[in-house]
Amino acid sequence: MKGCLELLPTNIKEYSPEGSRRSSVGEGWVPIVEELHNILVKVDSRYRIDQVKEKFGGLRYYFTPSFVPKNEPQRYSSMRYLVELAEALAARTCAACGRDGEVRNLGGWIVPRCDDCFVNETSGPSGDVSVAS
């Protein structure tokens, strides 16, 4: 899995302060992250991306709104809902290539992979491979 900050669109970098530019997602998830960002900017043009990563086979998208969430709960809930939708989509998307996938155990790493990428990554003398339950 590549650390792909360089693959994320320039506009995402603009919304992340220098100290918060941390991203580690596979190339297959970049379109999901890009689309999520483009939608969130319409809800809050000054929100900050704190971190984008893969963890336990799922997309994690951490952000800070430019407003106080308790003062605008509906707006904040909308942003959280959009993030949850993207995270759910990523869980069914191969993080390596972007095709339909499922969460699998890849030698102890829980990752979403399509059949082809899973076979390609497990065709060597590696250890335990199975579909995660």
69 pLDDT exceeds 50?
A: yes
pLDDT(131) > 60: no
The reported pLDDT for the residue numbered 107 is: 85
pLDDT at 132: 54
Give the span between the Cα atoms of 58 and 109, in whole angstroms: 12
For residue 23, give the 3-state DSSP assignment: strand
Give the integer Cα–Cα distance in Å for 55 and 45: 27
Q: Is residue 23 predicted with pLDDT exceeding 70?
A: no
Q: Report pLDDT digits (tens) over 108-127.
A: 889 999 999 999 988 765 54
**65: which 2 tokens?**
């709104």
pLDDT tens, position by position, 29-64? 999 999 999 999 999 999 999 999 999 999 999 999
